[in-house]
Chains A and B, each alone.
Chain A
Amino acid sequence: MTAPRTLYDKIWDDHVVHQAEDGTCLLYIDRHLVHEVTSPQAFEGLRMTGRRVRAPEKTIAVPDHNVPTTLDRANAATMTEDSRIQVEALDKNARDFGINYYPVSDVRQGIVHIVGPEQGWTLPGMTVVCGDSHTATHGAFGALAHGIGTSEVEHVLATQTLIQRKGKNMKVEITGSLMPGVTAKDITLSVIGATGTAGGTGYVIEYCGQAIRELSMEGRMTVCNMAIEGGARAGLIAPDEKTFAYCMGRPHAPKGAKWEAAVAYWKTLFSDEGAHWDKVVTLKGEDIAPVVTWGTSPEDVLPITGVVPAAADFTGGKVEAAQRSLDYMGLTPGMKLTDIKIDTVFIGSCTNGRIEDLRAAAAILKGKKIKDGMRAMVVPGSGLVRAQAEEEGLAQIFLDAGFEWRLAGCSMCLAMNPDQLKPGERCAATSNRNFEGRQGRGGRTHLLSPAMAAAAAITGHLTDVRTLM
């Protein structure tokens, strides 16, 4: 009998191609997702060495980081020269190497981490990599998924494997149920608040417990998406009936007898009783409140009912960092978080750009108007999310409320396309990073859930969404 194993152990074991004496492994990669920013030199490397893509059928590319999300983006003039060159390079590389591709003009185009699951590329038990740190998102399916660098992108393209050392096992359990108004985003931010941005360094996290089981697949993707902000290499959630139901019928999911065989295998993907954990963190679902970030690190998390902290509330190196955050964010210690005025609201990104996120925001916005002078935008995570939201009438709710209704892409999650904050502008954002300058030089970011973002858009300041429900 083999020793009890974690879910991570099982997926790892099933993908080891070769193990060197020093423990370094060659790991087989089932799905390689590619976008325009981190791939050009990797393809160039293949050309220079006369190599081909080993498994083009397992390689999926989509442009997302650079592409404008305004309705006129078919007009090339909406892109800067170097962005356009990067997108065109991806077009050409996809064609030349024969990989799966969703160009900007395709309705299925969107953020790579939304497109992968939506098209059924991401399935339980797989290894998934992408030259992007938020690849952890795919862990929601019980897939081992993480970001890689450009030289590794080339390595995977050429060999369909990655040179890796195994990480440690960490269990994050969320017991009980969430209270009304509390979402997956609040869970994932609260975990980072509790463990810090380095708390997961060297680990692969498995999220479990009743509150995680009760989440939809969309919610689980939100939780795993930010495993990286907690320092972890990857986040995982064991697949269950909800996972199977989500995957069934997707374009690239197995069908018929293969489907049956797949489900039988997927049902073995859970951490065994008695498996060894190097670290365990437990939070009570009932204790989690709607949260926001106040500073410039994702660990600067507080319940919306709180006040802005003072640098002196911290210890060690964090004192200086907190002071720098307060200065950058233009906040005074002691002020109520709900008194922080907002001028921009961004709903979207690979963290919260899925249909359920749009439903949650629309539920708050229905029949209401955004605050005068507020700049608010909804950027669906993919063309298909956008289409579905239009069908469900959500788009009209956003438009009636005064939101811009955009095309799919990364948009204001990072300042690489035309959507940027100006210095001093303050944004309530459903994305995942609040670093200095992340949304534009001098821009200030407060991370929160889609429902909380909608609430802030209405009132013009950070708001406890529960007061509007």
Chain B
Amino acid sequence: MDKFTRLTGIAAPMPLVNIDTDMIIPKQFLKTIQRSGLGKNLFDEMRYTQDGAEIPDFVLNQPAYRSAEIIIAGDNFGCGSSREHAPWALLDFGIRCVISTSFADIFYNNCFKNGILPIVMPQEVVDVLMADARKGANARVTVDLEAQTVTTSDGQSFAFDVDGHRKHCLINGLDDIGLTLEKAASIDAFESRNTALRPWA
């Protein structure tokens, strides 16, 4: 998993509430054998017409936001199914942080497992960030996980909360596997003991 420490990037405004996982990545893309490659179908039905042409109005199709790394979203982002394909698609597009007033539970957890930082902010802060994001590509937002702050392009700074263990994992790029690999010495020791005791296994 990629580390997340400090990110300065373009924030795309998506004020719509209840953006669900089906909107993030529709069902027909779940038969894939990969986690990567889903970025091109992120928000597929909002982003493309039936015949695959880009819908120019959609925020991520606008020149200013094509390389957005942050989404400022309406309430209850990520509701719907538990598909881990939703964070996979966001990540593959290049989104590393989503800021909203609230998130669906499973989606929120899945984000941390995949190196994405979801940030919950009160409505008035989201409003300020949304207005800032609307300024376009020159208005870059800074998310500092170590300091737990979000700073707008004109220097207004807001603090946010995050669970200590999750913060530790994100900053160090640790997923479950990463954490287990920190115990590699124990696994090595077990294996040598085991080879002596049960050489057939």
A residues contacting B by CB (< 8 A) are: 14, 17-18, 26, 28, 30, 40-41, 44-45, 48-49, 51, 54, 82, 85-86, 89, 123, 125-126, 151, 154-155, 158-161, 163, 253-254, 258-259, 261-262, 265
> Within the complex, what minimum Cβ distance (angstroms) separates B172 from chain A?
13
10 nearest interchain CB pairs?
Answer: A40-B33, A254-B200, A262-B200, A17-B190, A89-B33, A159-B180, A82-B31, A18-B186, A158-B177, A44-B34
Interface size in chain B (residues, C-beta < 8 A) = 23
- Chain B residues in 8 Å Cβ range of A41: 33-35
* CB-CB under 8 A for A86 and B33, given A17-B183, A28-B194: yes
> Within the complex, what minimum Cβ distance (angstroms) separates B2 from chain A?
9
Report how far A160 CA is from B176 CA in the complex, Å: 13
- Chain B residues in 8 Å Cβ range of A161: 180, 187
Closest to A259 in B: B200
Contact between B180 and A26, CB atoms less than 8 A apart? yes
Contact between B33 and A163, CB atoms less than 8 A apart? no
Report how far A265 CA is from B199 CA in the complex, Å: 11
> Within the complex, what minimum Cβ distance (angstroms) separates B191 from chain A?
8
> Within the complex, what minimum Cβ distance (angstroms) separates A65 from chain B?
13
Report how far A151 CA is from B114 CA in the complex, Å: 11
Closest to A150 in B: B84
Contact between A51 and B186, CB atoms less than 8 A apart? no
- Chain A residues in 8 Å Cβ range of B177: 49, 51, 154-155, 158-159
- Chain B residues in 8 Å Cβ range of A48: 35-36
Contact between B198 and A125, CB atoms less than 8 A apart? yes
B residues contacting A by CB (< 8 A) are: 1, 31, 33-36, 84, 113, 176-177, 180-181, 183, 186-187, 190-191, 194, 197-201
- Chain A residues in 8 Å Cβ range of B34: 40-41, 44
* CB-CB under 8 A for A258 and B200, given A17-B190, A159-B181: yes
Contact between B33 and A44, CB atoms less than 8 A apart? yes
* CB-CB under 8 A for A26 and B183, given A48-B36, A49-B1: yes
Report how far A40 CA is from B37 CA in the complex, Å: 13
Contact between A44 and B187, CB atoms less than 8 A apart? no
Contact between B180 and A163, CB atoms less than 8 A apart? yes
Contact between A45 and B35, CB atoms less than 8 A apart? yes
Contact between A155 and B180, CB atoms less than 8 A apart? yes
- Chain B residues in 8 Å Cβ range of A86: 33
Of B183, B187, B201, the residue contacting A30 (CB under 8 A) is B201
Report how far A28 CA is from B193 CA in the complex, Å: 12
Can you list 7 A-B contacts with CB-CB less than 8 angstroms, sorted by A residue number?
Answer: A26-B187, A45-B35, A86-B33, A123-B200, A125-B201, A158-B177, A160-B191
* CB-CB under 8 A for A123 and B181, given A44-B34, A85-B33, A151-B176: no
- Chain A residues in 8 Å Cβ range of B113: 151
**Residue of A18, A154, A163 ringed by the most chain B CB atoms within 10 A:** A18
* CB-CB under 8 A for A258 and B199, given A49-B1, A160-B187: yes
Of A14, A28, A126, A254, the residue contacting B187 (CB under 8 A) is A28
Contact between A163 and B186, CB atoms less than 8 A apart? no
Report how far A49 CA is from B35 CA in the complex, Å: 12
Of A44, A155, A259, A262, the residue contacting B176 (CB under 8 A) is A155
- Chain B residues in 8 Å Cβ range of A51: 177
> Within the complex, what minimum Cβ distance (angstroms) separates B87 from chain A?
12
> Within the complex, what minimum Cβ distance (angstroms) separates A408 from chain B?
23
> Within the complex, what minimum Cβ distance (angstroms) separates A92 from chain B?
10
Report how far A254 CA is from B195 CA in the complex, Å: 13
Of A28, A49, A158, A259, the residue contacting B190 (CB under 8 A) is A28
Contact between A44 and B199, CB atoms less than 8 A apart? no
- Chain A residues in 8 Å Cβ range of B190: 17, 28
**Residue of B113, B177, B198 ringed by the most chain A CB atoms within 10 A:** B177
Report how far A26 CA is from B176 CA in the complex, Å: 11
> Within the complex, what minimum Cβ distance (angstroms) separates A7 from chain B?
16
- Chain B residues in 8 Å Cβ range of A125: 198, 201
- Chain A residues in 8 Å Cβ range of B183: 17-18, 26
- Chain B residues in 8 Å Cβ range of A17: 183, 186-187, 190
